[in-house]
Structure 1
């Protein structure tokens, strides 16, 4: 079996999954349970391997992880905004007081 290397976009997605999971206060097990509820289970070991860059993220994974983390899927593959407070991932229904980002990743006017 050939080893598959995670590319730059996959590495960014892996880092964003870890960062947003931690901002949400979720354990790998809790995120895994959310992916199962969403219909595309990723076991805790799979979450760990994704975050370490040892497992590639396919489109189905990307969509279910975004749903489980309550962020738009594009937020998982874009660099986070430079905000020390929310790091571009305020919780659903909230806006960051420091940068104005909303849960959809848009700045408030």
Structure 2
């Protein structure tokens, strides 16, 4: 590969990663329901100086993102820097799959609680009605 090819590839790769970061920042901000001002305030509170207009310009590809800003965004969103610059469609799909798993786990947990409550209710009922318990017990020994 010639030096010109390497330089062109590096430039294209950098531009792609910056575009991924810009899109991911917008996705993460929207997911949290934050405005550009709210995001800017949070970054400033964490020591990363950036104004709301700069956040908007980054998200819309009108301004390049500096390394320290990218670190600040990744830190604030709780994601690795490498994930911030990854294609956002992949991370969005992963987020959707994680949410599906979380919903399914909540459903399973609710079903387990309902099952346990039904067992407790049955046990309490049978304890209060010993003739039924004896009949039920007699029926299972046949």
TM-score (norm 1): 0.69
Q: Does residue 26 of structure 2 align to residue 18 of structure 1?
A: yes
Q: Does residue 93 of structure 2 align to residue 83 of structure 1?
A: yes
Equivalent pairs, count: 87
| Aligned partner (choices 39, 52, 59) of residue 51 of structure 1 | 59
Structure 1 unaligned blocks of 5 or more: 1-5, 89-95, 101-109
Tell me, yes or no, if the aligned pair for 1:14 and 1:50 is still in contact at 8 Å.
Answer: yes
1:47-87 Cα offsets, whole Å, 9 max, x none, are: 00000101111110100111222222222101232528x35
Q: Take 1:19 and 1:97, find their aligned partners in 2: how far apart are those partners?
A: 15
Within-5 A mapping of 1:29-108 = 29-80=37-88, 81=90, 83=93, 86-87=95-96, 96-98=98-100
TM-score (norm 2): 0.54
Select the structure that is richer in helix: 2
Structure 2 unaligned blocks of 5 or more: 1-13, 103-142
